[in-house]
């Protein structure tokens, strides 16, 4: 009999941000595969009979490759095991969920997805930064500073627009490229930008910046991953920038 795959969102780090459902599924799993950013306290909910395997990787350390993780999931499912795949944040947000779900689908295994607090929302909450505001910020967009292929990054200029709050994952190393790309398209350099490092953890840190100082502040304050970058482009900022341009003309 084929087993079951459960993708579990463990939130940004703090164990007390887990949902009750996540805790219950961790307790009943036969095999638990967990990432680098999953808090050790989360693993304490596992049954004494379950097997815990670390499958994470840090920046630049190679770590466990996705193809190996996929093979381990396939092997466990073929043995009829209940596999809990623990991911930081929410499993459906930059969590490679589609690749792992495809394995379970191909094997006709049972599937369950337990949502978690995504890191972008946790980061905004840590420093009371509204991601939507009536008449100012009407859209919230999640994007990334890093792509699986070099030179294939998202079109950041189509994302950061008036009325939008954009949350950038995996963007510390790309801060200069993000800054220059946006300003080259006319995004005001005065826009408020916020780095929130280690959201949801005791060592959370906030670095306030502006778009025209984004890369400089990231370097001077030694911003490190995991960090979320929030760029808010209020409608009033776009109007003010247009007015300034008209005066200069």
From the list 4, 30, 35, 49, the catalytic residue is 35
DSSP per-residue codes, 53-109: EE----TTS--S-HHHHHHHHHHHHHTT-EEEEEESB-TTSSS-HHHHHHHHHHTT-
Q: Rounded to whole angstroms, how far apart are CA atoms 204 and 224?
A: 11
Closest CA to 7 of 151, 136, 105: 105
Query: Is 68 one of the annotated active-site residues of the chain?
Result: no
- Determine which helix (DSSP H) or strand (DSSP E) holds 23, and give its type and residue range: helix 20-27
Q: What is the 3-state secondary structure (H, E, C) of 165-198?
A: EEEEECCHHHHHHHHHHHHHCCCCCCCEEEEEEC
Catalytic residue among 30, 39, 49, 57: 57
CB neighbour burial string for 113-135, b if at least 16 within 10 angstroms, e if fewer: bbbbbbbbbbbbbbeeeebeeee
Q: How far apart are CA 68 and CA 101, in angstroms?
A: 15
Q: Of how many residues is the chain composed?
A: 249
Is residue 35 flagged as an active site residue?
yes
So which residues are the catalytic ones? 35, 57
């Amino acid at each position: 009999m084929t087993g079951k795959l459960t993708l579990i969102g463990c939130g940004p780090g703090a164990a007390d941000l887990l949902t009750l459902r996540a805790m219950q599924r961790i307790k009943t799993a036969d095999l638990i595969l967990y990432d680098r950013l999953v808090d050790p306290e989360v693993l304490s909910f596992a049954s004494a009979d379950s097997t815990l395997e670390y499958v994470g990787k840090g920046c630049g350390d190679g770590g466990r490759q996705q193809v190996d993780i996929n093979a381990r999931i396939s092997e466990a499912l073929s043995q009829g095991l209940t596999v809990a795949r623990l991911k930081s944040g929410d499993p459906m947000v930059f969590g490679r969920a589609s690749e792992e779900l495809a394995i379970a689908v191909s094997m006709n295994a049972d599937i369950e997805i337990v949502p978690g607090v995504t890191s972008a929302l946790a980061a905004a909450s840590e420093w009371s930064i509204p991601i939507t505001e009536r008449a100012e910020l009407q859209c919230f967009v999640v994007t990334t500073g890093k792509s699986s292929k070099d030179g294939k990054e998202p079109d950041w200029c189509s994302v950061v627009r008036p009325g939008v709050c954009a949350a950038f994952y995996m963007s510390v190393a790309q801060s200069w490229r993000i800054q220059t790309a946006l300003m080259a398209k006319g995004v005001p350099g005065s826009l408020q930008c916020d780095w929130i490092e280690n959201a949801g953890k005791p060592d959370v840190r906030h670095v306030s910046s502006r778009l025209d100082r984004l890369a400089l502040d990231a370097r001077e304050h030694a911003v490190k991953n995991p960090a979320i970058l929030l760029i808010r482009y209020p409608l009033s900022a776009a109007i003010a920038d247009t007015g300034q341009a008209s005066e200069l003309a």
